[in-house]
Structure 1
Amino acid sequence: MSSRVPAILRRISATARTRGLRPCTALALFALLGTGSAHAGSSGSLSLTSDYIFRGVSQSNQRPALQGGVELSAAGGAHAGAWGSSISWLSDLSTTAAPVSSSIELDAYAGYRGKLADAVAFDVGAQYYAYPGDFPSGFNRADTFELYAGLTVTASDRLSLGAKYSLATTDLFGYVDSGGSGYLDLSATYAIAPGWALAAHAGRQWIEGNDAFAYSDWKLGVTRSFDHGASLGLAWTSTDADDALYTNPHGRRLARSTVALTLAQTF
């Protein structure tokens, strides 16, 4: 889920690179987790959002997106999951001369969670972002593999703080020669009342070899949780990205300030 820039994706490389953890690898990990422990658990989610925003940039051309995911976890801390969403940012690049057809993002991830102290938890792992579809010859595919490490500190009964860093070991979402790009995610969540939570986020995307496209993003949101796993969230997002570089062929400014409403159900 990430900063996607149509302008840079129109640059063609001689070889499309798609390395790393494939979705089928995650399926194998699911099987191992499901059979390796009598205490293994599972969870899932379905959501509908008015705009799929990832790292401050719209992935759905500022239109609604349907999303869902599932995760398996073992008692020892190992976990693996898959997540998907409808998207349009790749298909929006399509032209008669170079048609592009890709309307879904499929992610697979695996990692390990544990505790460094009673109030300090960590999560380390890897994530693969896949974009199946039809692309013109020589198109630099957006498929991306990242390693990540994160910490969460429970500061009080109401406040939790988080920090996470993701490092791309392949080209980042179609940017040519961008291996080594990184994203820093800082977050805070505060429970203001039973069933209500405020969330704040600040992030920074570095793109190796493409400094002009680097940017920072921010988000402020509120979530209302209901019985049986339902929730409704409202979030404002903004960035300092260069509008000229983050405007798609339809004239939509994908990194502009925006508000998104999300209805979710966990199970």
Structure 2
Amino acid sequence: MSSIQSIHRIRIATAALALAASSIAQAGTSGSASLTSDYVFRGVSQTNGDPALQGGIEYAHDSGFYAGVWGSNISWLSDIPGDISSSLELDGYLGYRGKVNDVLSYDVGALTYYYPGDFPDGFSRADTTEIYAGATVTPVENLSLGLKYSYAVTELFGYVGSEGSGYLDGSANWTFSPGWTLNAHYGKQWIEDNKDFEYSDWKLGVTKAFDNGFSIAAAYTGTDADDALYTNAFGNKIADDTVALTLTKAF
């Protein structure tokens, strides 16, 4: 699949998601569509520094159970030398959110990353399933602090023998003015049997939300990943410091 075909399919999928989310009257269903200058996941560019179109829909029941789907164009698999045509990421997840009190909430669930496409014989597919558990505290008004751990029950994104890998995600979000939120993140990726590829990542950004459901975000991200291991076939360092701009419409 060519990049143009992939982006065209994402445009169609994003439009369909937006239409479905805006037309569904059932309470508890929400969606979003985004355009980002660079799809950065855990500090690593998934699109070789190029833009991505993304969209998702989630249903959340009053009991706390929820389920959703999300998609984005990618290039990191097709950028690997060889006959690989995968240019799309599709995620499905389900979980349960609850509150202990007005200050402490928790979230547990499972998420599958699926990468459709054609792969050569013997290629270790990137499809990954993780289970996760997280907690969020709001010690003061307009400030939330989160900690989440994700555990891979399959091989992690194609690393051979990497079952049991983990990712720790710490976050802080401070709404310092109406509509304005400062976002900070620090993460650590452990990869079983592939220790050299382990790294830490961080992010500092700001988000401006508007009353019409639109928001715009700017974020600086960086990692301490080994450049030699995270340089693709085009000579680009995909885990290097970068700034990404994202426009989102929530429905």
TM-score by structure 1 length?
0.84
Q: Could you say which residue in structure 2 is the equivalent of 1:150?
A: 134
Q: Give the superposition deviation at 1:118.
A: 1.5
Out of 175, 182, 188, the position equivalent to 1:198 is: 182
Q: Could you say which residue in structure 2 is the equivalent of 1:222?
A: 206
Unaligned runs of 5+ in 1: 1-33
Q: Could you say which residue in structure 1 is the equivalent of 2:74?
A: 87
Out of 76, 84, 90, the position equivalent to 1:106 is: 90
CA distance in 1, matches of 2:100, 2:169: 20
Deviations 1:229-254 (A, max 9, x none): 10000000000000000000011100
Q: Could you say which residue in structure 2 is the equivalent of 1:170?
A: 154
Unaligned runs of 5+ in 2: 1-23
SS of the equivalent of 1:228 reads coil
Percent of pairs with identical residues? 63
Q: Could you say which residue in structure 2 is the equivalent of 1:60?
A: 47
Asked whether the equivalents of residues 40 and 75 of structure 1 are also in contact (C-alpha less than 8 Å), the reply is no
Asked whether the equivalents of residues 46 and 69 of structure 1 are also in contact (C-alpha less than 8 Å), the reply is yes
Asked whether the equivalents of residues 186 and 201 of structure 2 are also in contact (C-alpha less than 8 Å), the reply is yes
Q: Could you say which residue in structure 1 is the equivalent of 2:3?
A: none
CA distance in 1, matches of 2:242, 2:112: 27
TM-score by structure 2 length?
0.89
CA distance in 1, matches of 2:113, 2:221: 22
Asked whether the equivalents of residues 205 and 214 of structure 1 are also in contact (C-alpha less than 8 Å), the reply is yes
Out of 185, 188, 193, the position equivalent to 2:169 is: 185
Greater RCO structure (CA 8 Å; 6+ sep): 1
AA matched with 1:169: V
AA matched with 2:69: A
AA matched with 2:32: S
Q: Could you say which residue in structure 1 is the equivalent of 2:241?
A: 257
Out of 235, 239, 246, the position equivalent to 2:230 is: 246
SS of the equivalent of 1:263 reads strand
CA distance in 2, matches of 1:249, 1:204: 25
Q: Could you say which residue in structure 1 is the equivalent of 2:20?
A: none
AA matched with 1:138: G
Q: Which aligned pairs between 1:106-125 and structure 2 lie closer than 5 A?
A: 106-125=90-109
RMSD: 1.3
CA distance in 2, matches of 1:187, 1:77: 22
Q: Could you say which residue in structure 1 is the equivalent of 2:16?
A: none
Give the length in aligned residue pairs: 228
SS of the equivalent of 2:79 reads helix
SS of the equivalent of 1:83 reads strand
Q: Which runs of 4+ in 1 moved over 6 A?
A: none
Asked whether the equivalents of residues 94 and 101 of structure 1 are also in contact (C-alpha less than 8 Å), the reply is no
Q: Give the superposition deviation at 1:94.
A: 3.6
SS of the equivalent of 1:92 reads coil
SS of the equivalent of 2:184 reads strand
Asked whether the equivalents of residues 81 and 233 of structure 2 are also in contact (C-alpha less than 8 Å), the reply is no
Deviations 1:128-185 (A, max 9, x none): 0000000001110000000000101011111100000000000000000000000000
Q: Could you say which residue in structure 2 is the equivalent of 1:47?
A: 34
